[in-house]
A and B are shown apart, each in its own frame.
Chain A
Amino acid sequence: MSGTRYNYGTAMLAAFEYLLENYPEVFVIGQGLWSPWYVGNSMTDLDKKFGAHRVIDTPVSESACTGAAVGAALAGMKPIVVHPRMDFMLYAMDAVVNQAAKWSHMVGGQAGPGLTIRTIINRGGEQGAQHSQALHAWFAHVPGLRVVMPATVADARDLLIASVLCPDPVIFIDDRWLYDLEDDLPPVVERSLDSARPQCLRSGADLTLVASGYSTRLALEAAALLQQQGISAEVIDLRVLNPFYPDSLVISVTKTGRLLVLDGGWSPCGMAGEVIASVVERIAPDTLKKSPARVTLPFSPAPTSRVLEKAYYPSVAMVVSQAGKLMDKVC
């Protein structure tokens, strides 16, 4: 593909620029917006280009900023709230879960807040329990919230645009561990968020790997290593966790007979379990050659100590080894 070179961060920057340029009702609000430090290269100089009145750095007030964005959305604006770490937005859960998610349903579908909450999974660096969480499954559990997790440079730009143009509340979750991904992108074409379905990023015959966000990167790297060992893995990136459309996953697993799900969250009541259940519910019981499996975090908060942190996050090697087990091979 030829086009303009972006990385995952500058792709989001391009989306912000596109939206602020073309939609006067778009504004951005959150902490760190006048400082490049909190948000990588994804928001550089937006305040200078579009004005501090449309790119608003705020007091340390996640709850009020998010609630205010819900209200502004009801009044016709298209706000983008930025929470530089997902952990910080827990102060905003009422605005998200009780208000934004429920509004349309509560008022008979006659009104709804079209706002996007961009929140960042910002793990590693020995930051520990309150600065590392990946809570996408929580949000995907709530009816009325669309949950988007871009894993590619193209999606970082295009799904951000689709999210902001969507008339519903969207939780858009990007990951600092993806900011160095690079790709060439064609000019922007606006697409409906409804058209964003799970996407096959690599086809294979022996095993289906399903992932989202940073886990998709792990899956792709693992698939390349598995190939060297003669195992052909198909990689499907979920892209959108809610609404979740498992049809293409079912087709893939019907072909491969083996399902391994990778998720950057915890297992219990999590996204990996949801994927497995959704596939198993829809597939003929004798299609599976092996019980599905998942690679997730240990069921504990993030540690800080470097030795523990190293063991905490799933690695490509862990994925390869799990995939090997599904193939009855030692990988």
Chain B
Amino acid sequence: MNDWSLGHLADPAQNQQPIDIAGQDVAALLTQLQMMLRIRLAERCLADGKRDRLIGGPVHLGVGQEAVAVGVAAELRKTDRVFGGHRSHSHVLSMGSSLHRLFAEILGKDTGLSRGMGGSMHLWDQPNGFYGAVPIVSGTVPLAVGAALAAKMQGGGDVGVAYLGDGAVEEGVVHESLNLARMLKAPAIFVVENNLFASHMHISLRQPKESTARFAAANDIPYEIVDGNDVVKVRAAAARLIERARAGHGPGFLEAVTYRWYGHVDWREDIDVGVNRSAEEVGVWRKRDPIARLVAGLQALGLIDADHLAAMETKIAEEVAEAWKLAQSDAYPPLSALTSRVFAGAGVTQ
């Protein structure tokens, strides 16, 4: 891959096969399957909520990309420091956040993760290791480096994680962050979800090469490039980089190649901020479904049967429906919240 092409990883017609789970911990895989399903169904619910105008603000859905966050989070602990961006529902849920509080946030309710002040694009759940997601592209990347630096100073072996996109690497601050993390040996893990698009623009219109890991190489940071729709591969690569970082050897860079099924923002599948993606293209990528492929891998070894899977799906669907209903009945923040939360020292318990 030294021409920095993504090769078969960016070719949706390949990598459709069942996930190879030989030698894996089955209980952990079932937990990951559950988490991916929870994220998928939650985002489907949000898509409907947006379509039905129950949600006012923009929602950036990551359906199709679930394996990235779930694979990485399998190697994280609550004392780690995870940061995200505009498309971060999977990032926060994979850290164990409450579905109800995520939904409440997106509906602008006081019970939400950010107490209704941020909506889908500004998520916070620090007690679960999720330090924050914001929609300024790349805005949190240096913050993750700083949180990693703090972890190094604090000496507990924790890491900082920056989730970013293939578009985000076009911001200069990402390159400063990579160099800085490397020079400070900060335990920062850069996770690029390369879904080949930044809003309406394919990566070929924005960058001369497909693989963003070339920026890690330029900064002497170890990197891994994986099929982002294979939770086993994502997890294994994350494990190697995170272990190294925890042991004091500095940052790592994980490029997970994936694809989003919905358009850039909101619930439509057929239109991507003004640019029509071909239905065939999306259709082929759907066959590379990270969930269906994990199920197929488990089925191939007789580790899950249709009944078990159906029961799992029903249970999660019920959970999602319950959380959505609860969030809708929650109260909005009081009007005083408009000005009482500007500084964290004041009014936060109001």
Chain A residues within CB distance 8 Å of chain B:
31-32, 34-38, 57-64, 87-88, 90-91, 125-131, 298-301, 303-308, 311-312
B277 contacts A by Cβ under 8 Å: no
A63 to B138: give the CA distance in the assembly, Å.
13
- Find B109's partner among A38, A299, A305 (CB 8 Å cutoff): A305
Contact status of A126 and B200, CB under 8 A, knowing A35-B275, A60-B137? no
Contact status of A301 and B342, CB under 8 A, knowing A34-B200, A59-B206? yes
**A61 contacts across to B, CB distance below 8 A:** 170-172
B299 contacts A by Cβ under 8 Å: no
B333 contacts A by Cβ under 8 Å: yes
A–B Cβ pairs within 8 angstroms, 19 of them:
A32-B199, A32-B200, A32-B273, A37-B199, A59-B201, A59-B206, A60-B206, A90-B136, A125-B57, A128-B118, A128-B121, A130-B122, A130-B134, A304-B108, A304-B117, A305-B116, A305-B117, A307-B332, A308-B335
Closest CB-CB distance, B85 to chain A, in whole Å? 11
Residue of A with least CB distance to B109: A305
**B56 contacts across to A, CB distance below 8 A:** 125-126, 304, 306
B108 touches A126 (CB 8 A): yes
B58 contacts A by Cβ under 8 Å: yes
A59 touches B122 (CB 8 A): no
**B122 contacts across to A, CB distance below 8 A:** 128-130, 304
- Would you give the 0/1 interface string for B132-158, flagging 1 where the beta carbon is closer than 8 Å to chain A? 001111110000000000000000000
A91 to B167: give the CA distance in the assembly, Å.
15
Interface of A is mostly: loop
A308 touches B337 (CB 8 A): yes
Contact status of A59 and B273, CB under 8 A, knowing A87-B136, A130-B134, A304-B117? no
B205 contacts A by Cβ under 8 Å: yes
A31 to B109: give the CA distance in the assembly, Å.
33
Give me 14 other A-B pairs in contact (C-beta within 8 A), A32-B200, A127-B57, A305-B119 excluded. Answer: A34-B200, A37-B199, A37-B200, A37-B273, A38-B199, A60-B170, A63-B172, A88-B137, A127-B58, A127-B135, A130-B139, A304-B118, A304-B122, A306-B108
A299 touches B58 (CB 8 A): no
B199 touches A35 (CB 8 A): yes
Contact status of A299 and B274, CB under 8 A, knowing A35-B200, A131-B135, A306-B108? no
Contact status of A128 and B342, CB under 8 A, knowing A305-B332, A306-B108? no
Residue of A with least CB distance to B201: A57
**A311 contacts across to B, CB distance below 8 A:** 335, 338
**B135 contacts across to A, CB distance below 8 A:** 127-128, 130-131
A34 to B272: give the CA distance in the assembly, Å.
12
B9 contacts A by Cβ under 8 Å: no
Interface residues on B, range: 35 or more
**Pairs A-B, 9 closest by C-beta atoms:** A305-B108, A126-B57, A304-B119, A59-B170, A35-B274, A126-B56, A37-B274, A37-B273, A35-B200
Residue of A with least CB distance to B331: A307
**A90 contacts across to B, CB distance below 8 A:** 136
Closest CB-CB distance, A90 to chain B, in whole Å? 8
How many interface contacts (CB-CB < 8 Å) are there between A and B? 130
**A129 contacts across to B, CB distance below 8 A:** 117-118, 122
- Find B167's partner among A60, A130, A299 (CB 8 Å cutoff): A60
A300 touches B342 (CB 8 A): yes
A291 to B336: give the CA distance in the assembly, Å.
27
**B273 contacts across to A, CB distance below 8 A:** 32, 35, 37-38
Contact status of A59 and B335, CB under 8 A, knowing A35-B200, A125-B57, A128-B118? no
A128 to B207: give the CA distance in the assembly, Å.
30
B116 touches A299 (CB 8 A): no
- Find A59's partner among B109, B167, B274, B342 (CB 8 Å cutoff): B167
B317 contacts A by Cβ under 8 Å: no
A305 touches B333 (CB 8 A): yes
Residue of A with least CB distance to B337: A308
**A300 contacts across to B, CB distance below 8 A:** 338-339, 341-342
**B21 contacts across to A, CB distance below 8 A:** none
B198 contacts A by Cβ under 8 Å: yes
**A304 contacts across to B, CB distance below 8 A:** 56-57, 108, 116-119, 121-122
Closest CB-CB distance, A79 to chain B, in whole Å? 19
A298 to B338: give the CA distance in the assembly, Å.
8
**A87 contacts across to B, CB distance below 8 A:** 136
Residue of A with least CB distance to B166: A60
B119 touches A299 (CB 8 A): no
B186 contacts A by Cβ under 8 Å: no
Residue of B with least CB distance to A304: B119
A60 to B198: give the CA distance in the assembly, Å.
8
**B134 contacts across to A, CB distance below 8 A:** 130
A128 touches B200 (CB 8 A): no
Residue of A with least CB distance to B116: A305
Residue of B with least CB distance to A310: B335
**B206 contacts across to A, CB distance below 8 A:** 58-60
A303 touches B171 (CB 8 A): no
A303 to B341: give the CA distance in the assembly, Å.
10
- Would you give the 0/1 interface string for B102-134, flagging 1 where the beta carbon is closer than 8 Å to chain A? 000000110000001111011000000000001
**A35 contacts across to B, CB distance below 8 A:** 199-200, 273-275
**A88 contacts across to B, CB distance below 8 A:** 136-137
A56 to B8: give the CA distance in the assembly, Å.
30
**A126 contacts across to B, CB distance below 8 A:** 56-58, 108, 119
